[in-house]
Chains A and B, each alone.
Chain A
Amino acid sequence: MDVLNNLITGFSVALTLQNLLYCFIGCMVGTLIGVLPGIGPVATIAMLLPLTFKLPPEAALIMLAGIYYGAQYGGSTTAILVNLPGEASSVVTALDGYKMAQKGRAGAALSISAIGSFFAGTVGTLLIVMFAKPLTEMAQKFGPAEYCSLMALGLVAAIVLASGSVIKAIAMVFLGLMIGLIGTDVNTGAQRFTFNIPELSDGIDFAPIAMGLFGIAEIIANLEKRITRDVGETKITSLWPTREEFRQSWPAALRGTALGSVLGVLPGGGPTLGAFSAYTLEKKLSKTPQQFGQGAPAGVAAPEAANNAAAQTSFIPMLTLGIPSNAVMALMVGAMIIQGIQPGPEVMTKKPELFWGMIASMWVGNLMLVIINLPLIGIWVKLLTVPYRFLYPSILLFCCIGAYSLQNSTFHVLMVAIFGVLGYVFLKLGCEGAPFLLGLVLGPQMEEYFRRAMLLSRGDPTVFVTRPLSAGLLAVTAVLLILMALPAMQRKRQEAFQEEG
């Protein structure tokens, strides 16, 4: 009954006119950036973050969440219709979705993707509702030592599941932690790495950093590559899948949902990994694997369900433990802090209307996306014909204004420029931005917990291994690290990511 009550609380918040409006705006903006390649949810959320200052916390978080899962929908629409995945998570959808479209089954592919996504979104929302309470209760037993270990586990897992070089990702986490230390030390008031710049004494806001790393650097890289886009004409005849298509896709959507849900909870997992794994799984399970890549409905249903399920469940660690599992969640943590809410297990008990309202709004948002998007497909595809040379100055401008409006200070605009250059260097050196951002957001908290744990244990570092929960978390962390170091595992991991790419 408890769950039901909570859901009622949630829906009573989510269904107010104001929150419905912000949910709608979020979903629309999300779909828009999902459709457009060259700008992702991380940069967009960073850009819009300052605008959410004046909103009530519920509305702000509902809108930002809408951007995130809206982007998953938008990305798949263009993947199917014009073979241009707007987001990394819909790259696999393009394989079979576009083939279906070429065979004249574009409408069916879109419906399969929309229905699969909606189903997965519903399941994902239910999972959050079910797991929120037990996880929160567990987290309330955590002391500083456990928190510290949990964050270490989160950061390491995020690295293991991300593609690319492990050791470079670890170094990026540490770099993020270090940049996170810039500012005034909370315990002593000492200025750390502020280099006599007064603006730095409050620390560097992570929004300009995210804009620089994920927005500006991306634009520069795109300009070097020169994006060429040929938008072919795809006619949508019927939106209804045939019985055969439906028969093939529903089990795939179910499996995709399950796999995506699990991978979404894991740090570093998220929609992209979910979609890739679900596609691979379907291909392995299928009796007719040769059909994959030739327009198999299961090849659309599985990754679409998986990326949406993962987008939903990646909120679980953030909402219950205050630990972000990917770059978008790191920004959501930041959005909460801006609103004066300390993310963590207390959010559920202290701010039930925010907590449940946000969860309920995700379901509402998913429903909105299905209803609104199918009739709007024509418009979204039209948008793709806008050349990139019109798009990037606009993105740049909104980044700049967003950064300025953080504190009405041009210092933040210069920060965007600096981190844009740094992000470009990271790209050139093959260093990923996501681990950096996670380290940056978790850094100050982690130091705080570390210092508190050491103070409580009177300077005895064994506290991290003598407390059973903390020891368990650290053991898992160690196992992950050792696994990564084994040559056999390294090869396996490379193969897995090869298959993805």
Chain B
Amino acid sequence: MNRFLSKDFLAGLMFLGFGGVAYVAAFTDLSRFFGQSRLALGTAVRMGPGYVPQMLAFIMMALGAIIALRAAVASGEPIESGKWKPIVMITLGVVAFGVLLDPANVPAIVSWVVSGVPRWENPVSGLLPALVAMVFLAALGGDEFKLTETIAMCAVLFIICYVIFKWGLSMNIAMLQGVW
């Protein structure tokens, strides 16, 4: 069992997966499920948009298969277990920043989940809420979280950002939607 949890075996599967998805998405009847029209291959003289992608997809699948097979035959380095907290919290932090920066994002997400919601603008958006959400989520991803320290960090980073991006580079970015 252990050999199937080796770095190489899983890496092989990953490449196989990428190649496979690319192939299925662009060159089979299933392509419409991917929001993608089938790519024409063309000829070697006049290559269509699909010629090179198909080549790459085949090579990817082949390489992935070779890597996985080699790893399955000879047991390789086992994969190290990770911690869930950093990866989840950091990713959430970045996503939260992106979502909160634009007043249209939260309503868009809500309308995906609940259909028929009237159009509205999220008033709690802009750099300030995005920054605070991100810094807090990121800080919670570490091992030592201190509330006062994190609040102070938010304040300092916000001032730095304001000076550099709004004041220095006069970037078109709202601090707090509709207010500042």
A292 within 8 A of B: no
Shortest distance in angstroms between B72's beta carbon and chain A's nearest beta carbon? 14
CA distance in complex: A54, B127 (Å): 21
Shortest distance in angstroms between B143's beta carbon and chain A's nearest beta carbon? 6
B128 within 8 A of A: no
Q: A193-B26, A404-B101 are in contact. Are A168 and B44 (CB under 8 A)?
A: no
Q: A224-B83, A458-B45 are in contact. Are A178 and B98 (CB under 8 A)?
A: no
CA distance in complex: A405, B98 (Å): 12
A430 near B56 (CB under 8 angstroms)? no
A410 within 8 A of B: yes
Q: Which residues of A contact B60 (CB under 8 A)?
A: 171, 174-175, 178
A192 near B26 (CB under 8 angstroms)? yes
Q: Which residues of B contact A363 (CB under 8 A)?
A: none
Q: How many A residues are at the interface, by size bracket?
A: 35 or more
B79 near A400 (CB under 8 angstroms)? no
A413 near B90 (CB under 8 angstroms)? no
Q: Which residues of B contact A190 (CB under 8 A)?
A: 37, 39-40, 48-50
Q: A190-B40, A459-B43 are in contact. Are A430 and B52 (CB under 8 A)?
A: no
B97 near A400 (CB under 8 angstroms)? yes
Chain B 41-64, CB-CB to A under 8 Å as 1, else 0, gives 001111111111100110110011
CA distance in complex: A134, B141 (Å): 53
Shortest distance in angstroms between B168's beta carbon and chain A's nearest beta carbon? 10
CA distance in complex: A345, B51 (Å): 28
CA distance in complex: A416, B90 (Å): 11
B134 near A181 (CB under 8 angstroms)? no
B80 within 8 A of A: yes
A219 within 8 A of B: yes
A424 near B67 (CB under 8 angstroms)? no
Taking beta carbons and an 8 Å cutoff, which residues of A are in contact with B? 51, 54, 165, 167-168, 170-171, 174-175, 177-178, 181, 185, 187-188, 190-197, 216, 219-220, 223-224, 226, 388-390, 392-394, 396-397, 399-401, 404-405, 408, 410-411, 413-414, 416-417, 420-421, 424-425, 428-431, 447, 450-451, 454-455, 458-461
Closest 9 CB pairs between A and B?
Answer: A196-B35, A413-B98, A459-B44, A459-B45, A223-B86, A190-B49, A185-B49, A417-B94, A429-B11
Taking beta carbons and an 8 Å cutoff, which residues of B are in contact with A? 7-8, 10-11, 14-15, 18-19, 22, 25-26, 34-37, 39-40, 43-53, 56-57, 59-60, 63-64, 66-67, 70, 77, 79-80, 82-83, 85-87, 90-91, 93-95, 97-99, 101-102, 105, 127, 130-131, 134-135, 138-139, 141-144, 149, 153, 157, 161, 165, 169, 171-173
